[in-house]
Chain A
Amino acid sequence: MSDRTPLLSFHAVTRHYRGNRHAAVNAIDLDVYRGEIVALIGESGSGKTSLLRLAAGLESPDGGEILIDGRVVAGGSIAREIPPESRHLGLVFQDGALFPHLTVERNVAYGLTTKDKKTRVDRIAACLELVGLTGKEKRFPHELSGGERQRLALARAIAPEPKLLLLDEPFSHLDPALRRKLREEIRDILQRLGQTALLVTHDPEDALAIASRVVIIDGGNLMQTGTPAEVYRRPANQYCAERFGPANRVIDRETGEETWKRPEDARWIPCDVANEGDPVVIETIREMGAIYEVRVSPETQPGETWLCFLKEGEILKPGDHGRVAWRGTPDRVAWKS
């Protein structure tokens, strides 16, 4: 198997639920390569969790085929689907799904197949150390905190050394501060292991912080895929743009092309300085600590408003005329002086 072979690939995979008019997953093509951390992002009901469960073998596709390491595991031409236990994938569940009747170490040991006691003990110790749970081997899951449970879930999933780790909204039950901390920890662990992973989330910060590639899904359809910077800076459409916070629709005056610009990329240009950017009128100004949230209406796109985060808010007032240009847009206009 060369490195060119995707570890996991979906070929035109479709999944329909009874009673739903639209497919939860609609003919999706997606490849995950070795060493990648791919984040699937979308609203709830967009089909991202279905895709993950299809990969794990917890659901069966109605069409298309799923390959792991170049071999068909579901759909397509095979008579019998490869069951989840034979796919050798790891899955970290939303709420951990820890076995309540087993201690921390026995939870981790659950997926180990080796009979050699020394190897087992070493492996358990190594996994627990990796997630920082050393010393809590004898505890039961209900005696752990929320963050510790998710760490244990991760340790249990990586203990059998899965080729691919699946993470299903692993942080969604945690409070924001813990969430940020755990996110970074898990990213470090995954990078250290060189673990290939597929993460499902609705939180853009999860996706941008952890992933090496982001895949945006809506209504069972694949909308955009790219590096975190690409999907953030150059969203393919409004849905993709809105996944990562506010975005302004800007129509290029020359090509008529639609682009989406982030509020923090706006630059304010007083009218008399240059004719760069688009002419706008300021509507409202709100002071938000270090920056000002300024709403402007572009004269070229009547009826719409743009949200701009500007530093020079104190010298502006509603009704002012000026221009807004966007960072990352090549300058086409010469300066006046």
Chain B
Amino acid sequence: MAITPQAPALPIVAPVADRRSLPSRWRLRWRGDRWGAGAALLTGIIALPLLAILFYLGQESVEWNHLAETVLVRYLTNTLILVVGVSLLVLVMGVVPAWLVTTCEFRGRRLLSWALILPLAIPTYIAAFVFYQGPEAAIPMMIKIRLRFGVEAFLLAEQVIRYGLLIVMLAAVLYPYVYLACCSAFSRQSRAVIEAARCLGDSPGRAFFRAALPMARPGIVAGVALVIMEVINDYGAVHFFGVPTLTEGIFRTWFGMGDKVAALRLAGIMMLVVAALLAVEQWLRGRARYVEADAGSIPMKRLPLRGGKAILALLACFAPVALGFLFPVGRLLHWAGLHLLSDAGSGFPAGMALVRGLGLALATAFVVTALAALFMYAVRLRESRLRRALGRIAGMGYATPGAVIAVGVLVVFGTLDRFELPLLPLVSGTLFVIAFAYMVRFFAIPLQFTRAGLERIGKPLEEASRLLGHPPLQTFLRVDLPLLRAPLIAAGMLLFVDILKELPLTLILRPANFETLATTAYSLASEARLQACAVPALLIIAVGAVGLLFMNRWLQPPLKNE
């Protein structure tokens, strides 16, 4: 049969002359880019707290000079020591297992390949109060040192143990960032390139150092950058170990000394440090496209290991898991058992407040993921440098420490309060403020997932939909959204877990009578009620671990069981 071409009911092209005769041409132009305007507006709102901090940098401060003369250097050196120490350690703990797991075959490899990411489920402040038992165990030795070598040596030894343990502990829970980045880099590497290196006379080990490692460098750098941001962001762990960094400086200055401007200046310094770090990372990653092989190439065939080598590989992969996950979880389980058996275990602390915390995390995760998906779609709708910049700015909160964002949000809402806007009391000082701060802090997570998802879907599908008569919003709902389901669920999970774990921002912004699992665990631990705090801590870890495995299943095909 033939389909006779017939005139459609609607005019083919809307009459242009009519459009032009409308009163305001400006309005037409603006309406033409509603998506862009929306994206720009959202970016502006997200950037507001960060801009507020920059604004306060120039203000007068009473305490600043005092601060700069006394503790600023200490904050900076401590931050630097931790950053350098942890970076070096995570390189070893992340790269070696990643290489073994992706390129070798040995007993236990599959199990370890996903167990190695589990330490990520343990927040640093929880790991801190488990590991803090270390310095106490060293007391008898310290006494001997004091008696035999004098005060100087004693102080030095005490510092070395404290800093060393803090570095080891941070590395033990943060190395999975590097591990994940390396796994994805190694498994994407073309087998042909490594085989070429072997044919040119390299042993497997030499091929690793001369070909595989340099090719994976951008991925490794990205992983280490994430670790460094976490170290700078940390509040709980450094507080426990008595190693004040810039983040702790903000807490002390604002809430201890009551000097807002000085605290904001500290926040500004942190932002500069992070910006410098990001610039280096961007520069290194910008060349990644040249370095990485395309995903379509044949994956590496794993080298089977036997005997002693297999045992060594197993140990190298098991050690980080044991240190970063099994040890802390074991201790916590032990404490939780003791707690539940004792009388104190009857009442769970802050029950209702906690439910509100969970509800907030869930709702925020949902809304922020949805917003991020729409935002990323808007940014990608038209290719332009400005839109790419919007995407980058909106995700900057992830690189900004939680304490800095909290301070920025306080300043913004404090300023707004002064104008006495009619509806403001409804939002200011409520859960809305903290939810907004979570969005600023974690917007990058769903953004990244959506970006990757949209890139996988590809432009042609959107173009096909547009040509078949569906405008952008309909195209998003009918084509992109169904295809984005998996990455969006993964992003939502990760966001939920991150909000549950978040400590510094929550501590600063939470309204009265509001607790999250994180604040409950932290306050119990700071009261040295370790056994009681084990219960919320384990809950955080459990939720986090489930979220991680979920995300790993969706988004890391190379790590999935083949």
Contacts and interface: CB of A to CB of B under 8 A. Distances in A.
Interface stretch (A24-32, A87-95, A320-328): A87-95
B1 A126 contact: yes
A84 interface: yes
Interface stretch (A96-104, A200-208, A236-244): A96-104
A128 B15 CA distance: 33
What interface size band does chain B fall in? Answer: 35 or more
Interface string B438-480: 0000000000000000000010110111111111000100110
A85 B13 contact: no
A129 interface: yes
B3 to A, nearest CB: 6
Contacts of A127: 3
B460 A79 contact: no
Contacts of A111: 467-470
A299 B475 CA distance: 65
B32 interface: yes
B16 interface: yes
Contacts of A82: 13-14, 16
Contact of B12 (A56, A79, A88, A100): A88
Contacts of A139: none
B483 interface: yes
Given A71-B16, A84-B467, A163-B12, A97 B460 contact: yes
B298 interface: no
B156 interface: no
A174 interface: no
Contacts of A161: 3, 5-6, 8
Nearest to A35: B5
A277 interface: no
Given A91-B467, A100-B483, A73 B3 contact: no
A168 to B, nearest CB: 9
A192 B2 contact: yes
B380 to A, nearest CB: 14
B3 A193 contact: yes
B342 to A, nearest CB: 54
B482 interface: yes
Interface string A34-71: 00000000000000000000001110000000001101
A126 B8 CA distance: 17
A194 B4 CA distance: 8
Contacts of A157: 467-468
A208 B395 CA distance: 52
B2 A87 contact: no
B468 A79 contact: no
A111 B6 CA distance: 16
A113 B469 contact: yes
Interface string B1-32: 11101101010111110011000010011011
Contacts of B466: 57-58, 83-85
Contacts of A91: 463-464, 467
B28 A79 contact: yes
Contacts of B25: 79
B29 A80 contact: yes
Interface string B189-230: 000000000000000000000000000000000000000000
A156 interface: yes
Contacts of B6: 161
Contacts of B32: 80-81
B8 A88 contact: yes
Contact of A130 (B3, B463, B471): B3
A334 to B, nearest CB: 55
Given A69-B13, A79-B29, A87-B13, A193 B465 contact: no
Contact of B469 (A88, A101, A130, A195): A88
A78 interface: yes
Contacts of B483: 100-101
Contacts of B461: 97, 99
A89 B479 CA distance: 19
Nearest to B6: A161
Contacts of B15: 71
B472 to A, nearest CB: 8
Interface in A161-215: 161, 163, 192-195
A65 B205 CA distance: 61
B470 A68 contact: no
A100 B479 CA distance: 9
Looking at chain A's contact residues, is the secondary structure mostly helix, strand, loop, or mixed? loop
A69 B12 contact: yes
A298 interface: no
Contacts of B479: 99
Contact of A93 (B8, B12, B460): B460
B3 A110 contact: no
Nearest to A158: B3
Given A69-B12, A100-B483, A163-B12, A90 B2 contact: no
B48 to A, nearest CB: 31
A337 interface: no
A73 B19 CA distance: 12
B464 A93 contact: yes
A97 B466 CA distance: 12
Interface centre among B1, B468, B475 (most CB of A within 10 A): B468
B13 A68 contact: yes
Contact of B19 (A56, A80, A101, A130): A80
Contacts of A85: 466-471, 475
Nearest to B32: A80
B467 A89 contact: yes
B439 to A, nearest CB: 29
B16 A95 contact: no
A214 B461 CA distance: 28
A86 interface: yes
B217 to A, nearest CB: 26
A160 interface: yes
Nearest to A82: B13
Nearest to B465: A110
Contacts of A79: 19-20, 25, 28-29
A12 interface: no
Nearest to A90: B467
A250 interface: no
Nearest to A194: B5
Nearest to B33: A80
Interface string A99-142: 11100000000110100000000000011011000000000000
A68 B12 contact: yes
B3 A126 contact: yes
A63 B179 CA distance: 51
A84 B461 CA distance: 13
A110 B460 contact: no
Nearest to B483: A101
Interface centre among B12, B14, B15, B25 (most CB of A within 10 A): B12
Contacts of A285: none
Interface string B293-310: 000000000000000000
B12 to A, nearest CB: 5
A72 interface: yes
11 contacts: A71-B13, A84-B467, A98-B464, A111-B468, A113-B10, A127-B3, A129-B1, A156-B464, A158-B3, A192-B2, A193-B3
Given A58-B467, A89-B467, A99-B464, 6 more contacts: A79-B19, A86-B13, A87-B12, A88-B10, A101-B483, A161-B6
10 interchain residue pairs of minimum CB distance: A111-B468, A97-B460, A84-B466, A97-B464, A80-B32, A88-B12, A91-B467, A101-B482, A85-B466, A85-B471
